[in-house]
């Protein structure tokens, strides 16, 4: 055994996998602990063997950026080790996420609670952007909640640096993925861009931190509405939903958008006042939401400026994280490791075990989201 293998073996002995808690297409997540202290952790096993060309790029990105980013509002990567043909990421264990909190109808949100979640989101995002990193996949189930109430940005599998503003990037980011484990495991088979900005939907390959700000704006709206704000069923329907909610952009609103690679005209909708839908929101809240959802990316507020917005300094002041509403711990429906070691069930096609029907969950969320009626006007030609 050479020095590298010996060091990896020693790292592996530090961590014990206790129970499988979720599975996506490319990863299995386990509840685990540190052998010496008993500290609870999440161990994300990347299935390297599924990739014919080696390791999945999203796993490399996740390790790279979490190694660089140390902040109280960003999930902590504790260790990395390999076992057989798999790569294992050891992450701090966080039982809940913002999506579960939003969907828990037994919880009542106060304006101060929403303000606290938004402040923590912007703090974590500002740190990413200050370090020249775009997250590119912000959504409620990638915002994890610690036992002390701290919100932490997770899942950096689509993140990338943006030091060169002239560098082309993919527009196929910011997914609506239903994951088998809270915030740790990506399954991209179900992909609705509910949090994707219009410039990406129109195929822009040159973009900036503004894509993350749009996503945060959608999350802000969802916290106030308790249902997804802009929930389309395809890229075209997503654009249609955005334009119904915010009005169709003009060249004055968004210069050059008709020249984007995938631009298609989508009728004409008149913008309805946000107040019509967000009836209980403060003036400052609506102003911040508006600045997050500006069509022209250059005019969207930055994370740094958002933290200085009047919304965060006007009463009611943000709730302390420890006082925020919390969901009950999930009912443990998974089996001990020794009963699922093969990660398969007997039966037709020997298919992988899924902890829940993600398709059914997506249909349910879509049905709820589609109840939103943004405007009664009819699109023109």
Residue 163 has a pLDDT of: 67
- Read off the pLDDT band of 102 (50, 70, 90): very high
Measured CA to CA in angstroms, residue 375 lies from 13, 242, 244, 245, 270 at distances of 59, 11, 6, 7, 8
Q: Residue 157 falls within a domain, yes or no? A: yes
Residue 48 has a pLDDT of: 72
Lowest mean pLDDT among 78-92, 296-310, 352-366: 352-366
Domain encompassing residue 207: 96-322
Q: b/e string for 57-72 if b means 16 or more Cβ within 10 A? A: ebbebbbbbbeebebe
CA distance 84 to 3: 17
Residue 176 has a pLDDT of: 44
Q: Residue 158 falls within a domain, yes or no? A: yes
How does DSSP assign 89-136, residue by residue? EEEE---EEHHHHHH-TT----HHHHHHHHHHHHHHHHHHHHTTEE--
Distance from the first to the final alpha carbon of the chain = 71
The reply to whether 276 belongs to the active site is: no
Q: Residue 40 falls within a domain, yes or no? A: no
Per residue in 329-371, pLDDT (tens digit) is 665 544 444 433 333 333 334 433 333 344 444 444 444 444 4
User: What are 64-70's contacts with CB under 8 Å, separation 24+?
Assistant: 65/133, 65/156, 65/159, 66/91, 66/156, 68/131, 68/133, 69/127, 69/128, 69/131, 69/133, 69/156
Tell me: is residue 101 an annotated ligand-binding position: no
Tell me: is residue 22 an annotated ligand-binding position: yes
Q: How does DSSP classify residue 268?
A: B
Q: Residue 106 falls within a domain, yes or no? A: yes
Tell me: is residue 115 an annotated ligand-binding position: no
Share of residues in the chain with pLDDT > 70 (%): 76
The answer to whether the CB of 355 falls within 8 A of the CB of 24 is no
Q: Residue 36 falls within a domain, yes or no? A: no
CA distance 155 to 31: 17
Tell me: is residue 323 an annotated ligand-binding position: no
Lowest mean pLDDT among 240-249, 323-332, 370-379: 370-379
Q: Residue 37 falls within a domain, yes or no? A: no
User: Which residue among 137, 155, 212, 235 is the active-site one?
Assistant: 137
Give the CATH number of the domain where residue 309 resides: 1.10.510.10
Q: Residue 351 falls within a domain, yes or no? A: no
How does the average pLDDT of the chain come out, rounded?
Answer: 83
Tell me: is residue 26 an annotated ligand-binding position: yes
Per residue in 42-66, pLDDT (tens digit) is 999 987 765 555 556 778 888 999 9
Instruction: Please give the structure tokens belonging to residue 119.
Output: 């402040």
Residue 180 has a pLDDT of: 39
Share of residues in the chain with pLDDT > 90 (%): 64
Residue 83 has a pLDDT of: 83
Number of domains comprising the chain: 1
68: left (phi over 0), alpha (psi -120 to 50) or beta: alpha
Mean pLDDT of 194-218: 95
pLDDT of 34 > 90? The answer is: yes
Per residue in 131-177, pLDDT (tens digit) is 999 999 999 999 999 999 999 999 998 999 986 555 555 555 455 44
Q: Is the peptide bond before 316 cis (omega within 30 degrees of 0)?
A: yes
Mean pLDDT of 82-92: 89
Nearest residue to 295 via CA among 243, 344, 340, 342: 243
- pTM assigned to the model: 0.82
The answer to whether the CB of 145 falls within 8 A of the CB of 95 is yes
Tell me: is residue 27 an annotated ligand-binding position: yes
Residue 85 has a pLDDT of: 76
């Amino acid at each position: 055994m050479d020095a590298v293998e010996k060091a990896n073996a020693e790292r592996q002995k530090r961590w014990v996998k206790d129970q499988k808690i979720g599975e996506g297409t490319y990863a299995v997540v386990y509840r685990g602990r540190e052998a010496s202290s008993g500290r609870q952790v999440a161990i994300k096993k990347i299935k390297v063997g599924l990739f014919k060309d080696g390791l999945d790029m999203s796993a490399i990105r996740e390790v790279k950026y979490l190694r660089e980013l140390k902040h109280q509002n960003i999930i902590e990567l504790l260790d990395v080790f390999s076992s057989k043909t798999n790569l294992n990421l050891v992450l701090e264990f966080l039982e809940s996420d913002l999506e579960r909190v939003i969907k828990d109808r037994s919880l009542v949100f106060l304006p101060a609670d929403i303000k606290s979640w938004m402040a923590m989101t912007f703090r974590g995002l500002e740190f990413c952007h200050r370090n020249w990193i775009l997250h590119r996949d912000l959504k409620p189930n990638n915002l994890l909640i610690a036992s002390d109430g701290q919100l932490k940005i997770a899942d950096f599998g689509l993140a990338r640096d943006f030091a060169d503003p002239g560098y082309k990037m993919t527009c196929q980011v910011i997914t609506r993925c239903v994951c088998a484990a809270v915030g740790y495991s990506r399954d991209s088979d179900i992909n609705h861009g509910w949090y994707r900005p219009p410039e990406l939907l129109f195929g822009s390959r040159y973009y900036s931190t503004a894509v993350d700000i749009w996503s945060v704006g959608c999350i802000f709206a969802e916290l106030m509405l308790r249902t997804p704000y802009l929930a389309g069923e395809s890229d075209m329907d997503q654009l249609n939903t955005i334009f119904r909610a915010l009005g169709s952009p003009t060249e004055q609103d968004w210069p050059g958008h008709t020249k984007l690679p995938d631009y298609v005209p989508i009728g004409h909708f008149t913008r309805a006042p946000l107040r019509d839908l967000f009836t209980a929101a403060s003036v400052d809240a609506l102003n911040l939401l508006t600045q997050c959802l500006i069509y022209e990316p250059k005019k969207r507020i930055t994370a740094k400026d958002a933290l200085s917005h009047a919304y965060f300094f006007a009463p009611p002041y943000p709730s302390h994280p420890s006082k925020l509403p919390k969901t009950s711990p999930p009912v443990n429906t998974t089996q001990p490791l020794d009963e699922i070691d093969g990660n398969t069930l007997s039966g037709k096609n020997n298919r992988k075990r899924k902890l829940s029907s993600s398709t059914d969950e997506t249909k349910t969320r879509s049905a709820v989201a589609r109840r939103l009626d943004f405007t009664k006007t009819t699109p023109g030609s």
